[in-house]
Amino acid sequence: MMLAIDFVVVAVIFVAAVGAMSCKNLVSSVLLGGLASLVASYLFLRMGAPDVAMTEAAIGAALTTVIFLVATRRTQEVEE
């Protein structure tokens, strides 16, 4: 059962990463990248690395996503 969840999680990471690269909308790309990070932190936890999982969730999924979103908006303001 747990192994099945792991496979689903890996599939989500793959789809989210490819989607983040191929998406035309920058905001969607950033959100998909955040999703990949968040789901990857579950994998770290499953592999017995809770410290890394916390870093990935706090920095990879939360702060990086926010900083990218703010940067996207700021650059759009300048372009307009």
CB atoms within 10 A of CB 39: 19
Three-class SS of residue 48?
coil
Q: Count residues binding other proteins (CB under 8 A).
A: 16
- One character per residue 10-49, x = contact with other proteins (rule: CB under 8 A): ----------------------------------------
Q: Identify whether the C-beta of residue 37 lies closer than 8 Å to the C-beta of residue 64.
A: yes
Indicate whether 63 belongs to the interface with other proteins (CB under 8 A): yes
Identity of the residue, 1 or 79, whose beta carbon is nearer to other proteins in the bound complex: 79
Question: CA 61 to CA 75: how far, in whole Å?
Answer: 21
Task: Report the SS3 class of residue 16.
Answer: helix
20: amino acid identity, one letter: A
Q: Which is nearer to other proteins, 19 or 60 (CB)?
A: 60
Q: Residues in the site for other proteins, rule: CB under 8 A?
A: 50-51, 53-55, 58-59, 62-63, 66-67, 70-71, 74, 77-78
